[in-house]
Amino acid sequence: MTQNKRIDVINALFDRALIARVTAQGVDAAMAAASTQTDGGAKLVELSIPDKGGLQLALDLAKKIQTEDPEIILGAGPVIHSADAKSLIEAGLEFISGPFDAAVAKACNLAKVLYLPLVQGPEDITAAAELAAELIRLPASQPDDLAGALAANPGLSLVTDLLPGPEQIAPCLKAGAAVVTCPAAADAGMAADMVWEAARARGLPLFSGVEHAGTYPLEGQDAAEIADWYVDTLGFQKFEGDGYYFVFSQGPGRIEVLCAHEPTRAHMAIKVRHLGEAMRVLQEKGFDFEPIKDFGRAKAVFLKQTDPAGNKVHFLYLALS
């Protein structure tokens, strides 16, 4: 069955505003393409299933994702039969799309799985809304195609159908689409570019907040003792990594306790929505950077300069955050 609750998939859709559509021959190629999108941050992947062969591919891919890369949120379409929808849901798919069909909608609702119906007119929109479709897909690839539907249905959350390319992401979102569907990116860097394009189109900031504060022990001091103080005193949880500890609770933010002593007392880790763009903006302001640290779906880079208080600053791109 599915890994996430339907509300979690909906929230991820609104957060990313982007679905990457994968077309592949064979489960290994589909797996590689899906992982590439998630590596860049476009973690909602829709597998195209134009025939029965595609249906079997979706079933096989769902099982492979659950064991090898469960952070991918996988959907599939078009699905036109409720029996196929039930099979896909049972295999673990987390959203279903296809031409609006009441039986498919009911199968998804009973399983508490998100349904993205493709509507063809006002009657379909009304019928889909009556069956509690949170998002509705339009066969629209141009911004002007959205105006009529939105004018006739204020408050409708629309998903545009397959776009001709990433250059249409911003215009469609600015025209009122809640989510856009794009062809899968060829590599993780292009996927990150698409995610940033969608974020920027919605006015989201490049520098998006403090991810954690880091502290360094005094010379001769034990980092574990510092981390344990937060655990014992405040009831925090502790994670031990290679040369560091993280302490955290249920709310946002973490504290990193480094094991190595440094003259600098602290560093500030700032989340960014696109690492390359963040570096470009700061380089134009005269800042220099240390080499990028690539951890796969997380990437970090330190400024060579400190902040005015002498704290080190680094920027962190988290593909799945």
Give the model's pLDDT for residue 122: 81
- Both ends of the chain: CA-CA distance in Å? 23
Average pLDDT for residues 90-95, to the nearest whole number?
A: 96
106 and 85 both lie in a single domain? yes
Let me know whether 66 and 111 are in one domain.
Answer: yes
pTM: 0.91
Domain containing 141: what range? 6-201
pLDDT at 2 over 80: no
The amino acid at residue 299 is: K
- Among residues 154, 170, 201, the one where a domain terminates is 201
pLDDT at 227 (0 to 100): 97
Examine the domain organization and report whether 121 and 229 are in the same domain: no
Percent share of the chain, pLDDT over 70: 98
pLDDT at 200 over 70: yes
Q: Report the alpha-carbon distance of residue 71 to residue 295 in Å, rounded.
A: 16
Rounded average pLDDT over 300-310:
96
233 and 286: one domain? yes
Average pLDDT over residues 261-284: 96
pLDDT band at 3 (very low <50, low <70, confident <90, very high): confident
The total number of structural domains that make up the chain: 2
